[in-house]
A and B are shown apart, each in its own frame.
Chain A
Amino acid sequence: MTLLRHHATWIWLLLATVTGLSWWFGSDHGIHSSTPHAGIAIGLLIAACIKARLIIFHFMEVRHAPWPLRLVCDVWVLVVGVSLISLYWMGLPPA
């Protein structure tokens, strides 16, 4: 029972739920067209960055690390998130 009460278990549940939702929205269940769908795509990228941060801070224990490491990790998540969304945006057809 201690395993279930561990805070990592709640984080894992959250990660698994977001994965399930991402799969639902991103696969053919959520979208029935093969045209770009910016809202969902950007949502999926943001969800991925939030999941990555949850793993880095809670599973890799960076939340207990000195601030320089916490900062470097946050910068990585932010740079990846902003770059990927911008590069995705580049590929959208002109409005």
Chain B
Amino acid sequence: MNSAVDMPLPKTMKGHVPGETGIWVFVLGDMSVFALMFGTFLYYRALDVDLYMRSQATLNQNFGAINTLLLLASSWFVVMGVDAARQRRTRAASTLFASAFVCGIGFAVVKFFEYHEKISAGLTLTTNGFYSYYYMLTGLHFAHVSIGLVLLGFMWAKSRKPLTEAKQIMLLESGATYWHMVDVLWIVLFPLIYLLK
């Protein structure tokens, strides 16, 4: 019996979408919302460049750079972890996901010191427009990091046993897709808030 199900897909539609389709709807939606917020930040910056540049000068760019490197390392560990899980290298997979989690925790620790430094200096959400956006954008991103850390913990726990079903790998891919999105958003946030002169 030759049904529509057996028919090969057109060549151009071939390919592998990692994870559940639903995660991509969420990820692309979230990325679009962040893109709007990036644009809004620059729009208000353009209205008062002086204030934004004076405020930006009080930020510690080293914190931003270290956090970028931590998220990039974490993403790399996740790529290698998913790869290891696909090849059923259980021990390697769980070690790699645990390393990704540690880098994510490192990001949170750096963020804690950064916020502490700013709040101690009296720079808060209500200081001025720049700081409102600084706390809103980095805070919202940090909320995503926190959710990602829970997912990484879940991925680590799952990867400790051999994953034999395609659905299990798909779950790991979904978590990985989310975590990489967190990385992509930070990659744009870092120059936007910390570096743009």
Task: Name the distance in Å between B52's Cβ and chain A's nearest Cβ.
Answer: 8
Question: Do A26 and B197 touch across chains, with their CB atoms under 8 A apart?
Answer: yes
Q: Which residues of B contact A26 (CB under 8 A)?
A: 61, 191, 194-197
B69-96 at interface with A (beta carbon < 8 Å): 69, 72-73, 75-76, 78-80, 83
Q: Is B53 on the interface with A (CB-CB < 8 A)?
A: yes
Q: Is B166 on the interface with A (CB-CB < 8 A)?
A: no
Q: Is A61 on the interface with B (CB-CB < 8 A)?
A: yes
Q: Which of B115-123, B142-150, B180-188 contacts A (4 or more CB under 8 A)?
A: B180-188
Q: A65-B15, A76-B28, A87-B39 are in contact. Are A8 and B46 (CB under 8 A)?
A: no
Partner of B72, one of A12, A40, A68, A90: A12
A55-72 at interface with B (beta carbon < 8 Å): 55-56, 58-61, 64-69, 72
Task: Name the distance in Å between B191's Cβ and chain A's nearest Cβ.
Answer: 4
Q: Which residues of A contact B192 (CB under 8 A)?
A: 45, 48, 84
A26–B173 alpha-carbon span in the complex (Å): 34
Question: Do B43 and A47 touch across chains, with their CB atoms under 8 A apart?
Answer: no
A40–B75 alpha-carbon span in the complex (Å): 27
Give chain A's interface residues, CB within 8 Å of chain B. Answer: 3, 6, 8-9, 12, 15-16, 19-20, 22-23, 25-28, 31, 33-37, 40-41, 44-45, 47-49, 51-52, 55-56, 58-61, 64-69, 72, 76, 79-80, 83-84, 87-88, 90-93
Could you write out 11 A-B pairs with CB less than 8 Å apart? Answer: A27-B61, A31-B197, A44-B196, A60-B176, A66-B12, A67-B12, A67-B15, A76-B28, A83-B38, A84-B38, A91-B46
